[in-house]
Structure 1
Amino acid sequence: MTLCYCGSSQEYRQCCQPIHQDPSKATKPEQLMRARYSAHCCRDVDFVVNTYHPSCNAEADRQAIAESIHSDWKGLSVISSEAGETDSEGFVTFQATLHEDGMEYTLAERSRFLFENQQWYYVDGVIDDSIAPKPLPKHSLKVQRNDPCPCGSGKKYKKCCG
């Protein structure tokens, strides 16, 4: 059993995987946001590009999107999910943690989503820059073979991503 990367405590195959296969299965902005985070963990550049709103022209930024996807994502926390002024707009506030160059970073954002053509799309977000990066403890820079896998699968690292 592989738990979903989005932190929902559900199995990936029942949570974000169906949305990765068909983005129109996300019935709420939070579901799409969670699936976009999971796509970062799964290195699914196409899903992330294809779930940007068409007005964003994400294809032109594919390389930068691919670089962000290849970061070492460690966790997601959804703070709030709220409706917009119309039924076709929604907002999700979240924090996502990643490790890079011996530091732990937290991306905090209030994301805006629009529903068009029977599908939710990510449009843009307001980033909270007030969360400063923290140095990682030396012992956590390297995962040992018998440690729990950082991907959240519940397996030992050597039996999962190691």
Structure 2
Amino acid sequence: MTKRGARRSAAEDPNLPCPCGSGLPYAQCCGPLHRGESTAATAEALMRSRFSAFAVGDADYLLRSWHSSTRPARLRLDPGQRWTGLEILGTDRGGLFDTAGTVRFRAHYREAGRPGVQEEHSRFVREDGRWVYLDAVPE
């Protein structure tokens, strides 16, 4: 049971806008990827779906979409951190016919009532034909 007035997430109401910022409902955007009904067509689409997974608390999807050579054994998401917005700052390759690509992004969150930002330049590759997160490019 949720507390009265608590904010509902896109995972609880798939008609809410997708956390990735596409403007589409979660059910038509990142929801099918999270449920394993489809795969990301591009590195950017995977990045967006991973941000949404953080936003809705889907650690299983995050692990499934992580490259086998860099994936942690388990992942514990911080329940006190609420992911609030995503900005894609740039991409390099990572398209339909590529096997690797990078996405630079800025992810916004709130923790203990304070805003925060995580900026990263992430590498993505295809593993078994599907896009997966490899690691962050050292700055």
TM > 0.5 fold call: yes
Aligned to 2:105: 94
Contact 2:57–2:77 (CA under 8 A) maintained in structure 1? no
In structure 2, C-alpha distance between the alignment counterparts of 1:23 and 1:92, rounded to whole Å: 24
Contact 1:24–1:119 (CA under 8 A) maintained in structure 2? no
If you compute each CA radius of gyration, which structure gives the higher value, 1 or 2?
1
Residues 23-102 of structure 1 aligned to structure 2 (within 5 Å): 25-59=39-73, 62=74, 65-68=75-78, 71-83=81-93, 87-102=98-113
Give 1:127 shift: 6.8
Give the 3-state SS of the residue equivalent to 1:6 in structure 2: coil
Give the 3-state SS of the residue equivalent to 1:52 in structure 2: coil
Aligned to 1:104: 115
Cα distance change on mapping 1:70 and 1:53 into 2, 3 Å: farther
In structure 1, C-alpha distance between the alignment counterparts of 2:124 and 2:98, rounded to whole Å: 11
**Residue identity matched to 2:43:** P
Residues 122-137 of structure 1 aligned to structure 2 (within 5 Å): 122-126=133-137
**Residue identity matched to 1:94:** F
Cα RMSD for the two superposed structures: 2.1
Q: In structure 2, list runs of 5 or more residues that go unmatched.
A: 1-14
Please list the CA deviations of residues 94-113 of structure 1 after superposition, one character each: whole Å capped at 9, or x if unmatched.
10011112321110011000
Which structure shows the higher helix fraction? 1
* Matched length: 123
Q: In structure 1, list runs of 5 or more residues that go unmatched.
A: 129-162
TM-score (norm 2): 0.79
Give 1:57 shift: 3.3
In structure 1, C-alpha distance between the alignment counterparts of 2:86 and 2:78, rounded to whole Å: 15
**Residue identity matched to 1:117:** D
